[in-house]
Structure 1
């Protein structure tokens, strides 16, 4: 009985990291950054899905492009989650939690043409960058220089992915 009680108490441990930002700012920023994290996992999974299911005459080039992009996207997830923790908040805990927070749509189709894959990922990366800009604006208003700085790099990475997806899908 004593071990069960101490386990319950340890689950209630205060995980709030001290911050110079206000409690309200930390709560609001963490909520927005957690939504970005969910979207990042969603676009990662879609990019891997399309990578695994690529076909056609440009298979190798597109397969490698999407593998590179998915690696880059996945690499940001830890930094995004750790930013939430640095704000003294908790972050995503499960696939179900991701599904609740994500705004980008999944694609569960049995077959998607290569050109539609690239177009959909291009649009998703454009939308992800837009969400990041909105979060950047909020963080800037609240004086969170660290999160705004990280977002600037992630926006640049998303725009680079858009550029590559756009150029790879051009016919002329």
Structure 2
């Protein structure tokens, strides 16, 4: 097998049939992979703050961030699988996540609990905006299944933002 046919064979091995047009698969894959990178970045940031929480409300905040981290991580598999179902390829590495993520990392040695909650609330509100943008791409291409998933994820992100806001008042 020559180099060209080997590459074609590998590509064909991952091809998933779909009724979506090639352009739709390309656009949807791009939008969903951006979301996936954001979810992984927000998951790790939430766990970072969970691990480094301190202060008089430690237990409540620690448990809140643990619950929110679990919810974020639980979204990653259905999101990646949706990309595959529509004929796309999804993220393969932390390096890829780093290139695509729009959630800013926080590598500070110390962050106050109030700043942690405020930053995560803001990140979740930004995620809501990005989810709505991805929903628009789904609507544009008639991908009702992805749109339906995103609608639930918008509600979850709004709830996380709300809880973080209320806990920080």
What interval of TM-score do these two structures reach, taking the shorter chain for normalisation? over 0.9
Contact 1:16–1:87 (8 Å) recurs in 2: no
Task: Please give the alpha-carbon distance, in whole angstroms, between the structure 1 residues aligned to 2:105 and 2:99.
Answer: 12
Structure 2 residue matching 1:110: 3-state secondary structure: coil
1:41 matched to which residue of 2? 40
Moved over 2 A (4+): 6-14
The separation in 2 between residues aligned to 1:111 and 1:52, in whole angstroms, is 12
Structure 2: state its 5+ residue gaps. Answer: none
**Separation of aligned partners in 2, 1:12 and 1:116:** 46
Number of aligned residue pairs: 168
Aligned-partner Cα distance in 2 for 1:30–1:9: 20
Q: Give the TM-score of the pair, scaled to structure 1.
A: 0.92
How is 1:82-93 mapped onto 2 (pairs within 5 angstroms)? Answer: 82-93=81-92
For residue 11 of structure 1, report the CA deviation from its aligned partner.
Answer: 3.6
* Contact 2:31/2:137, CA 8 A, preserved across alignment: no
Unmatched segments (≥5 aa) in structure 1: none
* Residue 81, structure 1, aligned to residue 83, structure 2: no
C-alpha RMSD of the superposition: 1.9
Q: CA deviation at 1:138?
A: 1.4
8 Å CA contact 1:139–1:145 kept in 2: the answer is: yes
**Equivalence map 1:24-39=2 (5 Å):** 24-39=23-38
Indicate if the aligned counterparts of 1:85 and 1:91 stay in contact, CA closer than 8 A.
yes
Structure 1 residues 55 and 92, CA gap change in structure 2 (3 angstroms)? same
Which moved further from structure 2: 135-144 or 116-125? 135-144
Residue 18 (structure 1) shift: 1.3
Please tell me whether the aligned partners of residues 36 and 131 of structure 1 are also in contact (alpha carbons under 8 angstroms): yes
Aligned equivalents of 1:82, 1:125: Cα separation in 2: 22
Shift of 1:13: 3.5
